Amino acid sequence: MDTGDTAWVLASAALVLLMTPGLALFYGGMVRAKSVLNMMMMSFGALALISVLWVLYGYSMAFGDDIGGGIVGSPFEFFGLRGLLGTSGLDGGFAATSLVFTIPSMAFVSFQAVFAIITVALISGAIADRARFGPWMVFAGVWATVVYFPIAHWVFAFNGAESETGGWIANKLLAIDFAGGTAVHINAGAAGLALAFVLGKRHGFGKEPMRPHNLPLVMIGAGLLWFGWFGFNAGSAISANGQAAEVWVTTMVATGAASLGWLLVEKLRDGHATSLGGASGVVAGLVAITPSCSSVTPLGAIAIGALAGVFCALAVGLKYRFGYDDSLDVVGVHLIGGLWGTLAVGLFASASATADVDGLFYGGGVDQLWRQAVGAFAVLATSFVLTYIIGFAIQQTMGFRIDEEDELTGIDNAEHAESAYDFTSLGGGGVSTSGVRPAAAATAASTQGASA
Amino acid sequence: MRLVTAIVKPFKLDDVKKVLETIGVAGLTVSEVQGYGRQKGHTEVYRGAEYQVDFVPKVRIEVLVDDLDSTRVTDVIVEAARTGSIGDGKVWVTAVEDVVRVRTGERGTDAL
C-alpha cells in the first residue's frame, strides 16, 4: 500500500462528490424559478440513493469477478462490501485486507461511488420541470442497477485490479477511456435523450424562451464542477504521480479552450458572448477531455477542448431541429462532448503522453480510432435502448410526468410543497399557504379574542 | 381633475421624471409593466434558438393633475419619452371624479 496514492485518491473522491451539488447548482440556475428546487433535488436524491446501492451491491456489480463475457461483475462477491474491510493488528495498527493497485479497496470503493452518483444525476437535466420526484427516484435506482453498474464494469474494471477478470471494453477492446467519457458522459447523454423522448416536451417548448432564472448559480455550479473534475480526471490515475500531474494540466487547458470556443461560436452566430455559453463551454471541455486526458499532449488537449466548445455550442441547437426537449442540453454537452472526446483519443493520442499510444494524427493509423468508436457506440446504443425501456415502463405503471396544471404552476410546489424564493411581503410566496405570517396570525388571534 | 397615464420605454423614465419636476408636478406613481402594441413584441436569439417575445417591458407613469394642466403635462411627457423608433409607448388622459389626501382628508384639487 502507498500512503501518498491513498491520500490522493481519498481527496479526489471528496472532490468528485462535490461535483454533484455543483451540478445541482448548474442545473438549478438554468431552469425557471418555479422548478429550481425539484431540479436540485433530483441531484441530491441521486446522491442519497446511489450511495446506499453502491455499498449494497453496486461496487460488486462493477468490480466483482466477471460472470462471463466482460458484461457484469458478480453482485454477490462484495455484497455489502464484505471481504474488503481491514483488520486491526496486535499493535492497534490497521491493515487493508484488499488492495486495488497501491491503495486499499475501500479507497477505490469511495472514488468509484461518486462516479456512479454523478452519472445518474447528470441525466436529470434532460427532463427538467416535468418529472415526478418518486418515479425519478425509482428510475435512478433501476437505471444505476441495470445500466450504470454493468457499463462501469465494461470500462473501469481492469483484470487483476480488484478482481481477476474485468470488463470487455477495458480488457478486450482496449479502448482508452481514462476517466469515463463512455461510462459516464456518453452513458448519461444517451439516457437523457431516451428520457426526453419518453417524457415528451414541456409546455411551451420552442415557443417560450424558458431562459435560465439565475445565471450566477449556473456559474458557481460550473466552477464547482471544474474544481471537482480535477479529482475526477487526475484522481483516475489512482496514484499521486506524474500521470496525475499531466492529466491535471490537460484537464485545465482543454476546459479553458472549450469555453473560448463556445463563446466564439456565440459571438459570431448570435452576436453576444453569454455567461451561459461560457459556463457550458467549461463543462463541454471537461467532458471531452475526460476520456482523453491521459493520452494527449497539452497541445492536443487545447485542440480537443477548442473543438469540443465549437461542436457542443452547435449541438445544443439540434433539439429544436429534431423536436426533443433535452431541457438543459445533456445531449448537446455530455453525449456530443463525450463522443467527441472518446473518438478524439483515436485522432490526437500521442505516445509522448502517459497512455503511450499514437492516434491517427500522430502516425498511429486507425487502430486506436476504431477501438474508440466501437466502445463509444456500444455504450451509446446500450444506454439508449435500456433507458427507453426503463423509462417507458415507469411511465406506463407509475406515471413519470406531472399534471399539466402542476407543470404550469411549478413543479416545486406540486412535488415538494416549497418555493425557492419568497420575495413578496403580502403573505407567503408562491401557492403554498403553509407559511402564515406572524402579523396575520396575530390579527386572527385578536379577532377571536374580541368575539369570545 | 384628470389622470395622465403614460406607458414609456424604461430607460426614458428619468427624462420624464425630470421634465415633470421642472414644470412643477408634485407627485407621480411608477410601475413596471409588460405589454405589446402594434409591433406585437419582437424576436430574440438565445443559445442558438429564436424566440418570439410577446410582452415587452415598459414603465407606467401615473400623474394626477388639474384639468387645466393636463395638456401641458401630456405634451412634456410625450416630448421627453420620444425616441422616434417603434415601441415608444402611449399617453392617455382620463377624467377623475374625486381625490382625497389620506393624511388630511383634503378633497378635490386641494388634494393634488
Q: Which of B16, B10, B6, B27 is nearest to B102 (CA)?
A: B27
**CATH 3.40.190.10 for the B2-111 domain, yes or no:** no
Q: How far is A276 from chain B (nearest CA, A)?
A: 8
CA dihedral A428, A433, A439, A442 (to 10 degrees): -170
Q: Is residue A402 part of a domain?
A: yes
CA dihedral B92, B98, B102, B107 (to 10 degrees): 130
CATH number at residue A288: 1.10.3430.10
Asked if A364 and A331 count as a contact pair (C-beta separation under 8 A), the reply is no
Segments of chain A with pLDDT less than 50? 428-452
| pTM of the complete model | 0.89
Interatomic CA distance for residues A392 and A394, integer angstroms? 5
Interatomic CA distance for residues A85 and A94, integer angstroms? 10
Interatomic CA distance for residues A348 and A303, integer angstroms? 9
Q: Is residue A424 part of a domain?
A: no
% of chain B with per-residue pLDDT over 70:
100
| Cell 444517451 found at | A190
Coil, strand or helix: which one is B5? strand
Residue B31 C-alpha from the chain's centroid = 9
pLDDT of residue A266: 96
Q: Which residue type is seen at A166?
A: G
pLDDT of residue A447: 45
Interatomic CA distance for residues A290 and A311, integer angstroms? 16
| Cell 423509462 found at | A391
Interatomic CA distance for residues A319 and A324, integer angstroms? 5
pLDDT of residue B21: 95
pLDDT of residue B48: 79
Q: How many CB atoms lie within 10 A of CB B28?
A: 18
pLDDT in tens, B70-109: 999 999 999 999 999 999 999 999 999 999 999 999 999 8
Return the domain boundaries, chain B.
2-111
Residue of B nearest to A271 (CA): B45
Q: How many CB atoms lie within 10 A of CB B8?
A: 24
Residues in chain A: 452
Which residues of B, range 5-44, sit inside 8 Å of A by Cβ?
44
pLDDT of residue A113: 98
Number of domain units in chain A: 1
Q: How far is B91 from chain A (nearest CA, A)?
A: 29
Q: Is residue A119 part of a domain?
A: yes
Q: Is residue A416 part of a domain?
A: no
Out of A5-19, B6-20, B36-50, least confident range? B36-50
Name the residue among A206, A211, A316 with its Cβ closest to that of B48. Answer: A316
Testing the interface with A: which of B34, B42, B46 to mutate, by most A Cβ within 10 A?
B46
pLDDT of residue A450: 44
pLDDT in tens, A360-406: 999 999 999 999 999 999 999 999 999 999 999 999 999 999 999 99
pLDDT of residue A295: 97
Q: Is residue A437 part of a domain?
A: no
What residues make up the domain containing A194?
3-406
Q: Which of A163, A192, A144, A171 is nearest to A48 (CA)?
A: A144
C-alpha cell at A200: 415528451
